[in-house]
Each structure stands twice: as C-alpha cells, then as structure tokens.
Chain A
Amino acid sequence: MSELRPDLAVIADLILPEARVLDLGCGEGDLLAHLQTNKRVNGYGLDVDEDNIRICMAKGVNVIEQNLDEGLANFENNSFDMVVMTETLQSVRAPDHLLKEMLRIGEECIVTFPNFGHWRCRLQLATLGRMPVSKHIPHSWFDTPNIHLCTFKDFEQLCTDLRLRIIERRVVDQRYTERPFANWLPNLLGPIAFYRLGRTGHA
C-alpha cells in the first residue's frame, strides 16, 4: 500500500478504529480507503466531481454523490463519530450552517482551510493592491471556487458565535507538517488552519 498523503495521515491518526466517519468533499477517497484498510472504518464520502466519484468507486470507497450546498438534512443526529472536511469550508455557500450541521450529525469534526490572514496574502494586498494568489490559495479572483475565505481569527469568532468547542488547533503547511514557529502568530504565519471541534458541554 502506498504511503498516505501527509495531510491525510494527520487526520487518520485522530480517528479511532471502527469509528463512523463522514468525509465531506472526499476527493479521490484516499483517507477513507486508508481507514478502511487500516482501521476497519467503513465511512462515507460525499463529493460531486465525476472523476473523483469514479476513482473512489474503483477503490471500493463508499462515495455518495451529494452537493454540500444542498445540506446534510439526510443524516440523523449523532450518526457519525467524526465528520471531516478538508479545505472545502471556503468553497461552500453557507459555512456557518454547514459547521452546525457537522456537529449535529457528528460527535466531533475536523475542519481545515487556507488562512487568508497569512503574511503572503497580506503583503500582496498591501503592496500590490491585488487579490492574493499563492501556493495555498492558487486561484484568480474571477475563477476561484473559494467564495468564503477567512482567517484563524474569523473562524474562531464564528466558533464562539456558534458555541462550538475548539478541542485542538494546529498550524500547518500544505503538507500538514506542523509549523511550531507559526504557533507564535498563527494568523500571520500559518498557511493552513487545522481545527478539531466538538459541541459545547451544556445542552
């Protein structure tokens, strides 16, 4: 078996054997295929991309063609132990609603997104006066699927507003390698934000 992509390996480590997992925007299904083989997890992945769906099927991954913008109303409360969404939050129509939904159907969730507050973005906007284009946000403003970009600070404010509990925050790069140095000023130095969230204690 080939080595799991480092970013997915970080997530896989956080998932318990036989957990019920839902992967929103599962791509080519690498995470789920890995969990299936190594952790006896038969999770489900949602995606809308034709090629991704076909590739998932060829891997024996449970891929469901479903658009996240149409919501998750078809899933019962508490039907999953972990709901994962990697670098998809910024491209959905209603990120706030989706986050609430993720923690309705899942005990915990993992969310990652590119940090728009990264110094490169700030520098481009400040000095060139142009919308930032960088390694972790590679699209031009007119053709970007990223319609809801945010920063660490924005996201944490939303979590507070939605009363979501931040269990863990990591500051990582594109390969999800930890950037301990960036922890000092995550909003300025962290390219990718990685959060593990849960519900607030009181009912």
Chain B
Amino acid sequence: MPQSRPANPPHSQQDNSVGVVVPQVYRHDKPLTLQCGVTLPGYELIYETYGTLNAAKTNAILICHALSGHHHAAGFHDTAEAKPGWWDNCIGPGKPIDTNIFFVVSLNNLGGCHGSTGPRSINPDTGKPYGPEFPNVVVKDWVNSQVHLADALGIEKFAAIIGGSLGGMQALQWSIDYPQRLHAAVLIACAAKLSAQNIAFNEIARQAIASDPNFFAGHYATEDKIPDKGLMLARMIGHVTYLSDDGMREKFGRELKSGDLGRGADVEFQVESYLHHQGRSFSQSFDANTYMLMTRALDYFDPARDANDNLVEAVSKASAKFLVVSFTSDWRFAVERSKEIVDALMAAGKNVASAVIQSDHGHDSFLLPIDRYTKVLQAYLRRVAQEVVGE
C-alpha cells in the first residue's frame, strides 16, 4: 500500500513536523447503501497518512474530523504552504499522536468538499454535480465508509480512533458498530447526542445559508453563484459558539479596529473584524451543501436511539477502552455531555478514563495545544502503544 511519505526533509523550524505529505484517494467501486436508503454506486475518499504501518498492522490510528475539518490534519502540502494541517500541534514525531510509534490515517468524510465524494462531485446518473441532491449522510454511514478504507489499507484493528466534536461521535459509533476493530476510542469535546440548544444553532446556520439569494435551493453551482454571504453568517454564528465569553474577552476585549469609536465604520471592534475574516475565508473555501449535510449529521447523531433510548444499552456492545476529554468553558459540547458518556460507559462496565481540562477557549480548545490536554493525550496513547505494539 502506498503511503504519503514526506517528499522533502521537514523545514528546519518544524523538527517535529511530519513534513510534506501527499494526499491519496481511495476509490470504492462497490455500491454503498446509506442509512437514508439511497445507494451510492461507488465513492472516493481522500486521505493522508503519517508515520509507518508496522508489519503486524497493529499501530494504526484513525483521525475523524469535525464539522468543517478535512483530511489534511498534519504536515504541509508543499513547502510554500503557510499553515500546516489542522491538528499539526498534536500529530507528529514526539507529539501526543506520535508518528514515531503510530501510523496515522486522516480522511475527508463522505459528503465533504475537500476531495471525497460529496455534493460537488458529478452524479453519474445526471452527469451534473449532485448539489442538494447528494443523499443525506449520517455518522453511521461515515463509519461504514471508513471501514472500507481500513480494509483497503489492511488494517484489521485500529490501535485508536480519535476525534473531537463530530469526530468523537464517529469514534463512539465505531466502538458500537465495529467493537472488534478498535482497541481504544478517544472522544474529545463530544456528546452522545446534541442538545436542543445545539441543534438550534445549527438550524440558524442552515437558515442563514438557505436565505442567501445566491443559494438557489442548493443549485448555486448550476447558476454559477456562491451563497457566500449565507456561509459567512453561518460561520460567524458557529465561531461565537465555539469560543467562550471569557475567551473572547481575553482575545478581543472591546478593542477598536481604528482606535476611535463612533465613526460609523462597518467594522469598529476587533471581534467584528475577526468574525468577518473567519466568515469570509470560510465562505470562499467551504461548500454550502456540505455544510448543510454535516450539520444535519450532527443533529441526527443519537446512538441510543437504536437501543431503546438507553445509552448504557447502546455502549454495552463496545469492547474498546475509552478516553473522554472535555473542556471547562465549552458550552457547545459541555462537560456535562461528556459526563453522560462516561457515566454510561461506567454503568456498562467498560474501561474508561476521563479528564476535564481547564480552558478559556470554549469548544475550540480541542484543537489547541493546551499543556494539560497534550499531556493527557500523550500519557493515554503511550499506554495504548504499550498495549497494542508493546512499545
């Protein structure tokens, strides 16, 4: 199996970087029937790998991405790339997800807009992009598609499946649906199901997109338009909920952009400037239909539903060991939601460890190099390495 080997030696300032990585594409040529009943004739998943798969194929880690994530989790696509992958602070030689020990697989999910089959792909039936006709995909479907990728890579059992937020939901679903195929599940800033408030924020984001005149009920590509205003608004709302009140106060305070209040400028406060920038750059790169699809997948996730609405019963099928990490200022995926998972796992007699990390950075914390968080992941994954590869 080919690997995304570093093409160049890492930059000198990136001693612990995985270096330059080349994304690869897995093509699944058999039909995949989704939970919604629709069958995709086939699909492609774009992915990257870091580190080396050992001969026994026991050292693989799967990274599942969150709402707006993708396959490029670590390293650089070329030496000119300004920013590394989205979880570079955590994945690399000597980092918590240590590529000296582990073989890391990171993919873009089905329905995504970074190279895997999704709304932007051509529908073989019509010869046109799927657009809003791309079938509804849920977490279970993602897991099923990831299983095929694992098969293709020859990975029978992952040492760990790790994800934050929506990514954690995938790791949890894996542990329930394919208990024999992972040794450990690491659920970070996660929930066993969204709260009504959380769904409400997603719906506001979707409405922001849907009400953009350039959305054309999802057919914007045929109209050669982008609903960038709607996407921008959706992202701005999202961003506010991913931060915390304290975190925003610390980062922006009431600092003015121009140093002078009341001149009637469009953007007066730094926080506005930040949100505009985040929203704008997101709206240029992300697909609106994918955003609709991913937020729906978040809303629908509820593994207890298949087990008489009983989470203990749902997780009783799992045989993995679990690590559950949450952050004190995260109100979108609050500490209590993680506690619900931990309590259900304990009630089901599963192996579980948990940590509640002090942080002012809200839900975004799971992406940040917070000292204690890093140490917790490191300690846990080193133990996993001892257990599965004896290292």
Binary interface encoding of chain A residues 52-76 relative to chain B, with 1 for a CB under 8 A from any of its CBs, else 0:
0111111111111110000000111
B-chain residues with CB within 8 Å of residue A79 when the two chains form the complex: 347
B376 interface neighbour in A54, A61, A66, A75, Cβ under 8 Å: A54
CA distance A119 to B372 in the complex (A): 43
- Contact present for A60 and B383 (CB under 8 Å): yes
B351 interface neighbour in A56, A58, A62, A74, Cβ under 8 Å: A62
- Contact present for A44 and B346 (CB under 8 Å): yes
- Contact present for A50 and B372 (CB under 8 Å): yes
- Contact present for B352 and A57 (CB under 8 Å): no
A-chain residues with CB within 8 Å of residue B339 when the two chains form the complex: 74
A57 interface neighbour in B323, B342, B343, Cβ under 8 Å: B323
- Contact present for B380 and A57 (CB under 8 Å): yes
Query: How far, in Å, is B311 (CB) from chain A's closest CB?
Result: 13
Binary interface encoding of chain B residues 332-374 relative to chain A, with 1 for a CB under 8 A from any of its CBs, else 0:
0000000100110011010111111000000000000000100
- Whether A183 is near chain B, meaning CB under 8 Å from some CB there, is no
- Contact present for A57 and B353 (CB under 8 Å): yes
- Whether B80 is near chain A, meaning CB under 8 Å from some CB there, is no
Interface pairs (27), CB distance under 8 Å: A20-B349, A42-B349, A44-B346, A44-B352, A50-B372, A53-B355, A54-B376, A55-B379, A56-B353, A57-B355, A57-B376, A57-B380, A57-B383, A58-B379, A58-B380, A58-B382, A59-B383, A62-B352, A62-B353, A63-B354, A64-B346, A64-B354, A65-B355, A65-B356, A74-B343, A75-B343, A75-B346
CA distance A58 to B385 in the complex (A): 11
Query: How far, in Å, is A105 (CB) from chain B's closest CB?
Result: 11
Q: Which residues of B contact A (CB under 8 A)?
A: 321, 323, 339, 342-343, 346-347, 349, 351-356, 372, 375-376, 379-380, 382-383, 386-387
B-chain residues with CB within 8 Å of residue A66 when the two chains form the complex: 354
Q: How many residues of A are in contact with the other chain, CB < 8 A?
A: 22
A-chain residues with CB within 8 Å of residue B372 when the two chains form the complex: 50
CB contact list, A182-201 vs B, under 8 A: none
CA distance A76 to B310 in the complex (A): 15
The tally of CB-CB contacts under 8 A between chains A and B is: 51
Nearest chain-B residue to A73 (Cβ)? B343
Query: How far, in Å, is A155 (CB) from chain B's closest CB?
Result: 29
| Given A60-B321, A75-B343, 12 new contacts (CB under 8 A) | A42-B349, A57-B323, A57-B355, A57-B383, A58-B379, A58-B380, A62-B352, A64-B352, A65-B355, A74-B339, A76-B347, A79-B347
Query: How far, in Å, is B370 (CB) from chain A's closest CB?
Result: 12
A-chain residues with CB within 8 Å of residue B347 when the two chains form the complex: 76, 79
A-chain residues with CB within 8 Å of residue B323 when the two chains form the complex: 57
B-chain residues with CB within 8 Å of residue A56 when the two chains form the complex: 353
CA distance A188 to B103 in the complex (A): 61
A42 interface neighbour in B351, B354, B356, B376, Cβ under 8 Å: B351
CA distance A44 to B343 in the complex (A): 11
- Contact present for B383 and A54 (CB under 8 Å): no
Nearest chain-A residue to B344 (Cβ)? A74
Query: How far, in Å, is A30 (CB) from chain B's closest CB?
Result: 15
Q: Which 3 A-B pairs have the closest CB atoms?
A: A58-B379, A57-B379, A54-B379
Nearest chain-B residue to A44 (Cβ)? B346
Nearest chain-B residue to A51 (Cβ)? B375
Nearest chain-B residue to A22 (Cβ)? B346
B-chain residues with CB within 8 Å of residue A20 when the two chains form the complex: 349
B-chain residues with CB within 8 Å of residue A54 when the two chains form the complex: 375-376, 379
CA distance A35 to B342 in the complex (A): 21
CA distance A74 to B335 in the complex (A): 14
A-chain residues with CB within 8 Å of residue B375 when the two chains form the complex: 54
A-chain residues with CB within 8 Å of residue B386 when the two chains form the complex: 60
A-chain residues with CB within 8 Å of residue B352 when the two chains form the complex: 44, 62, 64
CA distance A156 to B339 in the complex (A): 35
Query: How far, in Å, is A72 (CB) from chain B's closest CB?
Result: 11
Binary interface encoding of chain A residues 131-173 relative to chain B, with 1 for a CB under 8 A from any of its CBs, else 0:
0000000000000000000000000000000000000000000
CA distance A76 to B312 in the complex (A): 12
CA distance A59 to B379 in the complex (A): 9
CA distance A44 to B387 in the complex (A): 19
A42-B351, A54-B379, A65-B356 given; A60·B346 CB < 8 A:
no
